[in-house]
Amino acid sequence: MNKYKVIAICGKSASGKDTLLQRIVALHSNLHEIISCTTRPPREGEVDGKNYFFLTVEEFAHKDCMGDMLEVTHFRDWFYGTSNDGVDRNAVNVGVFNPAGIYSLMKNEAVDLFVVQVQASNKTRLMRSLKREINPDVDEIVRRYLTDKEDFEFFSQVYEPDYIFDSDGTSFSELNDVAREIVLLAERHWAEEAN
């Protein structure tokens, strides 16, 4: 069976995972960017169809019941997932996932996974979180930090990522190098598995 090849980027809030995704996609036009679905409301500056497909709970549940979701996770009162039509079986797919999404993809026999974990110091993450929005919701930032601490502590005990990237102090040219290296290593990984 021809599996979905997925480069799954994960990391704590404001670690730089979305920036890394943008660089990988910008440097590799042959890759397919995964845009996930969610039932949470858009954050300031987010655009439907670009950052996420923002669905109602009913729309999300219908897709899931019809078997149209590759992976589904539940966080707080919101659902997140990747629809089957959001991935391309004939291309390398790349997207951002939380630890629960990674676990869900790991269990899916139709997926061949290459996991990249992005890390940054707490100070860097806090500064990025505060600068991301004009009026940041500090309570939400703190909630994300506490949730990430728990989720990623467990994640590191059960799964060893294929690639770890520390985004602290990374220049633009260094980020480009990392983006190229990740794709090269993922392709090598899949070639070795095929043999």
At residue 93, the pLDDT reads: 97
pTM: 0.89
pLDDT in tens, 167-194: 998 898 999 999 999 999 999 999 988 8
Collapsed DSSP state (helix, strand, coil) of residue 63: helix
User: What does the alpha-carbon distance between residue 31 and residue 10 come to, in Å, rounded to a whole number?
Assistant: 18
| Over residues 67-91, mean pLDDT | 89
DSSP state of 102: H
At residue 1, the pLDDT reads: 57
At residue 162, the pLDDT reads: 95
pLDDT in tens, 119-149: 999 999 999 999 888 888 889 888 888 888 8
Among all chains, which residue has been given the structure tokens 């799964």?
159
Q: List 38's β-bridge partners, or say none.
A: 54, 80
Please give, one letter per residue, the 3-state secondary structure of 43-58. Answer: CCCCCECCCEEECCHH
User: What does the alpha-carbon distance between residue 95 and residue 108 come to, in Å, rounded to a whole number?
Assistant: 16
Residues 21 and 94: beta-carbon distance below 8 Å: yes
- CB-based contacts of 2: which residues, under 8 Å, 6+ apart? 89, 90
> Using alpha carbons only, how large is the chain's radius of gyration in Å?
16
**88: exposed, middle or buried (Cβ count in 10 Å: 0-12, 13-18, 19+):** middle
At residue 88, the pLDDT reads: 93
Angle between helices 122-132 and 138-158 (to 10 degrees): 140
Question: Residue 164's pLDDT band (boundaries 50, 70, 90)?
Answer: very high
Report the first-to-last Cα separation within the chain, whole angstroms.
Answer: 15
Strands (E), the chain: 4-11, 32-33, 37-38, 53-54, 69-75, 78-83, 92-96, 111-119, 163-166
